[in-house]
Amino acid sequence: MKKELIQILILTTVIYIATNYVEERWLQYNVSSGRMLQTQEEKKQPAVGVEQVIIASENNAFVDDEVKIYGNENDEQEHDEYSVFGELDSMSRMLVNNDVEHDEDSVFDKLGDNHRQLVSYCSENQVGNNDFEGGTTSGWYGHRGNPIMVDPTDGYGGSNFALKAFNRSITWTQGFKTYVTASCLHSLGYTWRFRFKIKMFDQESGLGIQGCDTKDKNKHTCPMIRLLVRKSGRIQNEYIYFTDLVWNANDWNDVDVFFKTNSRNTGQEVDAFAPMIVGGPLNSVLVLDDVDIRRLEPDETPTGAPSISLMPSGSPTVFCTKNFVKNNDAELGDTKSWYGYGSHIEAQPNVGYGGSAYAFKVFSRNHPYHGLLQYLDRSCLDVGSTWRFRARVKMYDEETGEGITACDPENQDNNCPLVRIRTRQYGKRRWDNYRNTAITTWYPDDWNRLDVVVKMRPEVSGPMTDEFVLLLTGGPANAVLLFDDIDVERLEAFETPTTFPTITPSPTVSPTQLCYQNFARNADFESNTTQYWHGFGNPVGITSPGYNGSQFALKAYDRYRWARGASPWQHINQICVGDGSTWRFAAKFKMYDQETGAPITTCDPATKKNCPFIRLLSRFGWYNEWSLIYDTDMVFNPDGWSSFSVDYTIPEKHSGPGLTHFIPMFIGGPYASVLVIDDVELRRLDYQEIPTAAPSVSIAPSSSPTVFCTKNFVRNPDGEFGTRAYWMGWGNPVTLSATGEGYGGTGYALKAYSRNSWHRGLSQVIDYSCLDIGSTWRFQAKVKLYDETSGAGITVCDPTVKNSFLCPMVRLLTKKYTVNHWDIIRDHEMVWNPNDWNTFDVMVKMTEKNAGPDVTWMLPVFVGGPPGSVLLIDDVKIERLEVWETPTAAPSSSMVPSAAPSVFCTKNFFKNSDVEKGTTRNWYGWGNAIAIDDNPGYGGSGYAIKAYNRNSWHRGIGQFVDFSCFTTNVTLHWQAKVKLYNQTTGEGISCDPRNTFSLECPVIRLLTMKSDGSRRWDLFHDWDMPWDPNGGFNNFDLKVSMIPENSGDDLTTFRPFFVGGPVGSVLVVDDVSVTVIDEPADKILPPAKTCRSVGDPHFVSFNGTRFDNHDVSWQTLFEKGKLKVEMEHVPFPRREWIMINNAWRVSYDGQIVEQGEGGVVPSGTISPDGLAGTLDIYDPFFVRIHISYHRRYYNAYITTQHYEDATGLCADRGIVNEAPLFPENPNISEEEANAACADVAGTDVYEDCVAD
């Protein structure tokens, strides 16, 4: 249907008591699409030209007016001018929010689910803009026609802002309204808590309202809460009165009430939930601040309002440093709060980062900027604030499923994932692109880190910004994007210096190193490419030769304006561009006429005429600053290379907050001249750190970096803000203790409850930038344990017991890119009092395994104590010690006691090695089930552990083993008691450990991984283990010398498994151990090799040497010890030039074991793999001899691991009797020979067959 544009006059009538004011607005409205069009003022934006588009790739290059946004159910919605939070939000909220009158049904119909402020957890504050310190009414609306506004002079506790509802002249039901997650009302029986500060005064006189009687519910003279709940299409009203509140007419009042839901207002049918704050006389003004609305957990009992407001409006920093992303990891299995931007999205199972259950999948994209979108709370989007956007991301081709390889982090194009931010001010939208410069290598088949730090400029932040949208996008249009662990946070002031991953290669790089580098990449063009360089309205290319005999240089040609040239469109680190800093711009250059090739002779540096110079561009958003930089002291050589070099002091106009681009361009010279440059240098000269006057952009405080790294890295260490901000559970919920339960009997403590395992607890992500190798860290806290059911203190904790999990401890997770490393930190010197607080205090020296510049994550988790216990912590402190503070000897409670490493490293590294506690803890199956065996353990002990339901020999039982002592070439002693029986019949399994080709006996299969991501499998056979199938357990005992490939300091995984035995067998193990020993290792057999003698006869020795042997009579193929294998060589009848294996014999200790001729093959043994004609010799070592008969001759195959020191033709003594020349007149053609050997085509004997 043809779209028809009409003009609709929207008459907004704002009724005031004192005056009548009518405001008329003309807006263009698209009737057929329901989409607001641009006003004439908005249309007056300049078009982006070709030159601008190049720069705009970092900002607003993509016009997306018609991009579709797909919701959680993939229902397509037109979405251009209004945020998902609602048409109402965009149309009616101005500085004074003149809300039109609605009845409840129409409001809900208009808002629907898409306009709720969705949060991740119902137990958190459901109100995003709760203290109005962002200076906006975001998320709040007037009700029944009254306007609301932010009052900039009257916040609670001296804060900057509060929210005011005025012109309440019609009914007492006028007031404030917000929207809360409806799904939090789906469950019956929960209690909700409503807390806020409120006051009320007469609009005309300004005097406080005196007639409020909170105990009289019928007069409506006091404020109250009105809850509107829509269930099954019907509106339910609930009123909450403050009957216990003593009203103060002249000051703020502290409201803290509880409301228990019932069947009328809960259930799966509830699809909208709107709390309102109303009441008071007509013409009264309500003022609101510090709002907290949340659903209480079952264990949270109403004990009265706390002494400290949840979010004191005077300290919005605590609130503003949360993760602003809702549903950040898809672990709920849905895409709630997310929208597809020009694409479809879903929660994809079994692909999450780090093995988690879900990740967000973005597919059906047809543009690089289509991706995953979420609307963020903008109440903390202050001018100058620093924000960090992080996620894990991977990409693959939608058709082939192959990983995307086109992403080059160095090039920073749209083939890599990026962060796009959309903001809106005064009705005008803008996009900003932020590239991921935190990585230098893209892994196409694995997860990658997306990490961007942004300092907000005035044009994208501040109280007039009414939209804040995150879009995760980038990559080729045909790529499927997977995102996980998405995090958006506003950094605190002290965090800002160290968390600029987009501008620092690693936390250990000093500002001097960072800024004192040549920022010109591909500066000498010896790569023979123009990578990182662009023309400016002209092409560029590579020319030869370069300066001073080098191979290549860069030329800029087709220059028909002075402003054309070559530009390193590379983003110089804006942090290094300080006001007053000195930069060196230098290059070698020459010029010649493009048509004639004649050198340019008219350059006069003194007058700046016809000479190259620098045109410096600094961009602040869409505003550009230009400067021209000349080298007037240059000595110009028209017939060769000249040197351009200028030391330039950066003026104020080229630096400061909001700087997004800093680009020097090499231009100048006559019309139509070619400019050639080489050996470019762009760097800052001064060696000092960034001035301390600008700490918001400093990488680290320049005055005392030591002090910076020795701070307490724990945020909210004591919960005294009345919130658990920054703290997370680890598979369990976390909350605050009741007031007065903190250490010392005052304030709060942090509580972990509903813990079903010792490793459940409290965790916090902390800054890892100071986590240097060799640094010493101190972990301190006050800790307490009590039984969740009885409340009794935990008495089983004994800190002196090693490897106990019954006491509080720290479980430290560090991550190096995709590899996790866990350390357990125990305080063995802690004195335990089960009925009071205890002091946890441990110092730990960091190693290469958990520290260094490649660490990407640091997460301490306070854990420990029996299941069912509650863990309380308070006054937590984690700090890095100065060198002078570090103990000269590692303390006894150190994670790895440096005083006695030999004692530590001689322990049994298997945990729960004898399962005498009757549990399989620490053990895992490998594609099969494990359990405690029904029969007694070894020696009549209580238990053993079994692996069953095994459908292959490599199914079994194993565990992750601590590898901290497994240095390169260490010798390990492996011991275990093992047995095998048939799972169906229970009969013992027979096997011969000497048969090292067979996997019918128990063996160790070891998986090791290195920090470079490589992995390795090893098999360890105890080939001299005596085996008794029916006598009970057998003794597996093997000493193995490890090799560099499966040991060393770069190990990240050491995971041994006990495997082996036929399909359907049960493997039982007991008394397992692996220890480090200083003894010779057992002989580990090399890989098995096969020697063959076939056809004429053609040999391949154990070491792979190919030769023929035509000696007549008996020839020894293999001899070692008492075993001897021989073949008889005779000429082929009537073809004397051909030799064949005519007979065979195997002897042992001088006696013939078996022999054959005329087609007789070994018949006494058929090997387990079903191969007839096989003879297995086991004593004193294992050798397999396979003899086959082909027409009139034998082929022989000898396979063993015991080929060292053997003799015979198979032992590779060199080539014997080179094969005779091929006959000059053969009886058959080559084609006939190929046909005759067709049945062995593709095998390694085919060529021998054809030759014969």
Judge whether residue 896 has pLDDT over 60.
no
Q: What pairs with residue 972 in β-bridges?
A: 1040, 1076
Compare 270 and 575 and report the one with higher pLDDT. Answer: 270
> For residue range 619-669, what is the model confidence (pLDDT) as tens digits?
765 567 889 999 999 999 999 999 999 999 888 778 765 667 788 999 999
Q: How far is it, in rounded angstroms, from Cα 37 to Cα 640?
A: 60
Residues 6+ apart with CB under 8 A from 997: 1088, 1182, 1184, 1199
Q: Which residue has the tokens 């220890």?
A: 1075
Q: With contact defined as beta carbons under 8 Å apart, do 147 and 395 qualify?
A: no
Q: With contact defined as beta carbons under 8 Å apart, do 1208 and 1118 qualify?
A: yes
Q: With contact defined as beta carbons under 8 Å apart, do 946 and 1022 qualify?
A: no
Among candidate residues 963, 750, 729, 753, the one with its CA nearest the CA of residue 859: 729
**Structure confidence at residue 598 as a pLDDT band (50, 70, 90):** very high
Q: How does DSSP assign 1213-1228, residue by residue? A: ----SPPPPPPSS-SS
Judge whether residue 436 has pLDDT over 80.
yes
Helices (H), 961-1038: none
Q: How far is it, in rounded angstroms, from Cα 739 to Cα 742?
A: 7
pTM > 0.85: yes or no:
no
How far apart, in Å, are the Cα atoms of 1014 and each of 86, 313, 403, 1009, 1045?
51, 52, 18, 6, 9
Judge whether residue 1240 has pLDDT over 70.
no
* Range of weakest confidence among 371-380, 1066-1075, 1078-1087: 1078-1087
Judge whether residue 686 has pLDDT over 70.
no
Q: How far is it, in rounded angstroms, from Cα 230 to Cα 232?
A: 7
* Range of weakest confidence among 626-640, 812-826, 937-951: 812-826
Among candidate residues 470, 469, 436, the one with its CA nearest the CA of residue 453: 436
Percent of the chain beyond pLDDT 90?
A: 34
| Range list of β-strands (E), 410-464 | 417-425, 428-435, 448-455
Instruction: Give the helix/strand (H/E) hosting 28.
Output: strand 20-30
| Predicted local confidence at residue 946, as pLDDT | 95
Residue 1170: DSSP 8-state: -
> For residue range 58-79, what is the model confidence (pLDDT) as tens digits?
233 333 333 333 333 323 232 2
**Structure confidence at residue 508 as a pLDDT band (50, 70, 90):** very low
Which of 109-123, 498-512, 1217-1231 has maximum average pLDDT?
Answer: 1217-1231
Q: How far is it, in rounded angstroms, from Cα 650 to Cα 665?
A: 16
Most distant pair of Cα atoms in the chain: their distance: 132
Q: With contact defined as beta carbons under 8 Å apart, do 1145 and 1152 qualify?
A: yes
Judge whether residue 900 has pLDDT over 50.
no
Among candidate residues 430, 419, 429, the one with its CA nearest the CA of residue 453: 419
Q: How far is it, in rounded angstroms, from Cα 718 to Cα 781?
A: 10
Among candidate residues 296, 299, 305, the one with its CA nearest the CA of residue 242: 305
Q: With contact defined as beta carbons under 8 Å apart, do 931 and 1062 qualify?
A: no
Judge whether residue 12 has pLDDT over 60.
no
Q: How far is it, in rounded angstroms, from Cα 692 to Cα 653?
A: 19
Q: How far is it, in rounded angstroms, from Cα 645 to Cα 649?
A: 13
- 186 CB neighbour count, 10 Å cutoff: 15
Q: How far is it, in rounded angstroms, from Cα 481 to Cα 459?
A: 30
Among candidate residues 278, 249, 274, the one with its CA nearest the CA of residue 171: 278
| Residue 882 structure tokens | 């100065």
Cα dihedral sign for 27, 29, 35, 38? negative
Judge whether residue 902 has pLDDT over 70.
no
User: Judging by beta carbons within 10 Å of its beta carbon (0-12, 13-18, 19+), is residue 963 exposed, middle or buried?
Assistant: buried
| Residue 1058 structure tokens | 């006990």
| Range list of β-strands (E), 44-151 | 68-70, 76-78, 96-97, 141-143, 148-151
State mean pLDDT over 1104-1114. Answer: 89
Q: With contact defined as beta carbons under 8 Å apart, do 293 and 747 qualify?
A: no
Instruction: Give the helix/strand (H/E) hosting 1247.
Output: helix 1246-1251
Q: How far is it, in rounded angstroms, from Cα 170 to Cα 149?
A: 18
> For residue range 1146-1203, what is the model confidence (pLDDT) as tens digits?
999 889 989 999 889 987 555 455 567 888 887 667 888 999 998 789 999 999 888 8
> For residue range 1203-1216, what is the model confidence (pLDDT) as tens digits?
888 999 998 655 44
> For residue range 309-319, what is the model confidence (pLDDT) as tens digits?
233 333 333 45
Residue 136: DSSP 8-state: S
| Residue 297 structure tokens | 């957990």
Q: Which residue has the tokens 């209004």?
A: 82
Q: How far is it, in rounded angstroms, from Cα 850 to Cα 771?
A: 8
Among candidate residues 375, 367, 336, the one with its CA nearest the CA of residue 481: 367
In this structure, the strands spanning 1051-1059 and 957-958 are: antiparallel
| Predicted local confidence at residue 121, as pLDDT | 59
- 837 CB neighbour count, 10 Å cutoff: 19
Among candidate residues 786, 783, 804, the one with its CA nearest the CA of residue 795: 786
State mean pLDDT over 517-532. Answer: 85
What string of H, E and C letters represents the secondary structure of 189-221?
CCEEEEEEEEEEEECCCCCECCCCCCCCCCCCC
**Structure confidence at residue 683 as a pLDDT band (50, 70, 90):** confident
Q: With contact defined as beta carbons under 8 Å apart, do 178 and 88 qualify?
A: no
Torsion of CA 842, 843, 848, 854, to 10 degrees: 80
Q: How far is it, in rounded angstroms, from Cα 288 to Cα 178?
A: 12
> For residue range 1001-1045, what is the model confidence (pLDDT) as tens digits?
999 999 999 888 888 998 898 888 999 998 789 999 999 999 888
Q: How far is it, in rounded angstroms, from Cα 897 to Cα 1050?
A: 20
State mean pLDDT over 686-708. Answer: 35
How far apart, in Å, are the Cα atoms of 324 and each of 469, 488, 641?
11, 5, 56
Q: How far is it, in rounded angstroms, from Cα 954 to Cα 50?
A: 62
The pair phi, psi for residue 552, each rounded to 5°, is -135, 155
Q: With contact defined as beta carbons under 8 Å apart, do 99 and 147 qualify?
A: yes
Question: Would you give the distance in Å from CA 62 to the centre of its chain?
Answer: 28
Q: Which residue has the tokens 């880190």?
A: 449
Q: How does DSSP assign 854-887, residue by residue? A: T--EEEEEEE-S-TTEEEEEEEEEEEEPPGGGS-
Among candidate residues 989, 1005, 988, the one with its CA nearest the CA of residue 954: 1005
Q: How far is it, in rounded angstroms, from Cα 407 to Cα 364?
A: 19
Q: How far is it, in rounded angstroms, from Cα 26 to Cα 1158?
A: 108
State which amino acid sits at residue 65: D
Question: Would you give the distance in Å from CA 69 to the centre of its chain?
Answer: 26
**Structure confidence at residue 1239 as a pLDDT band (50, 70, 90):** low
Q: How far is it, in rounded angstroms, from Cα 96 to Cα 1216?
A: 102
State which amino acid sits at residue 348: Q
Question: Would you give the distance in Å from CA 1105 to the centre of its chain?
Answer: 50
